[in-house]
Amino acid sequence: MTIIAFVCTSCSKSTSPVTPTPTPTISSLTLVDVAHMRDNKQVISFRFFINVSPASAKDIKVNYATSDGTAIGGADYTAVSGTLTIPATKTVGYVDVNVTADSLRQPDQAFYLTLSSPVNATISGTGKATGTITNSGTYYPSDSEGYYSPSTYPGYTLKWSDEFNDAAVNTNVWNYDIGGSGWGNNELEYYTNSTNNAYLSNGKLVIEARKETIGTNNYTSARLNTSGKQAFQYGRIDIRAKIPVSHGMWPALWMLGSNIGTSPWPACGETDIMELIGSSPNRVVGSIHWAQANGSSGTVNNAYFLSTGDFSQQFHVFSLIWRMNYIQIIVDGLPYMTANNTSISSGTWPFNATFFFIFNVAVGGDWPGPPDSSTIFPQRMYVDYVRVFQ
């Protein structure tokens, strides 16, 4: 028998696993949105960051270009385009875009930065970021159409006025009430001292109610008063103003007795030269309030209706004639509410003492109710002047 032996030369050696060559990881570029408040006086830079993950062993190049949204290149920002190089091992790059200065208060504006044609990287998502310009300047143009009151009256001398022609609210005259406690009326706003809510523009005081959240309050506004700084007893008062009339708005031009610290409301007395609730846009109400013998509030008031249009369409003059034991409230020279000390059958007439001013725009509250879907914010009250003649 012939035996043939086969020798396997490969079988006598152990087999080792083959390690595959790793595939290089490609870096991903993520572009980040930017939002800033516009400056009133100088150009500011919006910096768009580009995050790199993971870092690349090679330089990365990527093209970029801006495009218009509601913000317009050349007017609101400086349009840019080019190629950005992010050096190897770096995990971030950026592109700066200059935004022009502007003091105009207007809705937020947007423009875009887009990435394209990356080298040694990929682009995450759309590669498009938004630059949001917040325009909270203190210039807001308004017309001056409407009724003007005389600058002089026979038998009267101008005692004091604020024509609102300064650069900012005069804090030697006006205080800011601060807070969001409801102010005794279940109001919904938080009153601030921010120029978001009260500022001077084009010779007018603007009180602006906004839909924004502070704490548990979903609206902000302003309430200015002259307590401890300007108080008056008797005379003629003229206030020229244009009033917001949307649902849930409650603008008011009014006065409280200077002794409120020792004689709490209603004992101090309250004179409402003008109140309006947004559900009645063509009606204002003039009132006095005092403490009746049982401590509750007594009221004498009346309403004035425009024959056409509403109080937001042009300026009107809201006036008070105030003498000892006598009050008369007027719109555009037309008296519509008169009261005297004999109008009070219970309690004491408190209106022979000094009173200070309060100007405010409340949002919501027991009387107007809350805003609804028809209410567009911001809402603004414009005051052209307040004048006291004696």
Asked, as a colleague might, if the bond just before 335 is cis with ω within 30 of 0, I would say no
Q: Please report which helix (H) or strand (E) contains residue 93, including its range.
A: strand 92-99
Percent of the chain with pLDDT over 90: 93
Instruction: Look at residue 2 in the predicted model and tell me its pLDDT.
Output: 44
DSSP for residue 263: S
**Burial of 324 from C-beta contacts in 10 A (0-12 / 13-18 / 19+):** exposed
Whether the Cβ atoms of residue 363 and residue 371 lie closer than 8 Å to each other:
yes
Whether the Cβ atoms of residue 252 and residue 289 lie closer than 8 Å to each other:
no
| Amino acid (1-letter code) at residue 306 | L
**Cα–Cα distance, 236 to 241 (Å, whole number):** 16
Query: pTM value?
Result: 0.87
**Burial of 277 from C-beta contacts in 10 A (0-12 / 13-18 / 19+):** buried
3-class DSSP state for residue 333?
coil
* Structure token digits, residue 189: 């706003």
* Structure token digits, residue 245: 């009339």
**Cα–Cα distance, 317 to 332 (Å, whole number):** 5
Q: Which fold has domain 27-134?
A: Immunoglobulin-like (2.60.40)
- For residue 20, which phi and psi values (nearest 5 degrees)? -70, 150
**Cα–Cα distance, 204 to 384 (Å, whole number):** 5
Whether the Cβ atoms of residue 217 and residue 190 lie closer than 8 Å to each other:
yes
Q: Please report which helix (H) or strand (E) contains residue 136, including its range.
A: none
**Cα–Cα distance, 40 to 169 (Å, whole number):** 17
Whether the Cβ atoms of residue 381 and residue 242 lie closer than 8 Å to each other:
yes
Instruction: Look at residue 19 in the predicted model and tell me its pLDDT.
Output: 60
The residues of the chain scoring below 70 in pLDDT are 1-24
* Structure token digits, residue 267: 């004992």
* Strand-pair partners of 160: 388
Phi-psi region of 359 (alpha: psi -120 to 50; beta: other; left: phi over 0): beta
* Domain ranges (residues) in the chain: 27-134, 158-389
**Cα–Cα distance, 267 to 274 (Å, whole number):** 20
Q: Which of 67, 72, 66 is nearest to 109 (CA)?
A: 72
Would you name the residues annotated as active-site residues? 270, 275
| Total length of the chain | 390
Residue that has been written with the tokens 């991903």 in this structure: 28
3-state helix, strand, coil in the chain (%, to 5): 0, 45, 50
- The CATH label, of 2.60.120.260, 3.60.10.10, 2.60.120.200, 3.10.20.30, for the domain at 158-389 is 2.60.120.200
Instruction: Look at residue 6 in the predicted model and tell me its pLDDT.
Output: 42
**Burial of 124 from C-beta contacts in 10 A (0-12 / 13-18 / 19+):** middle
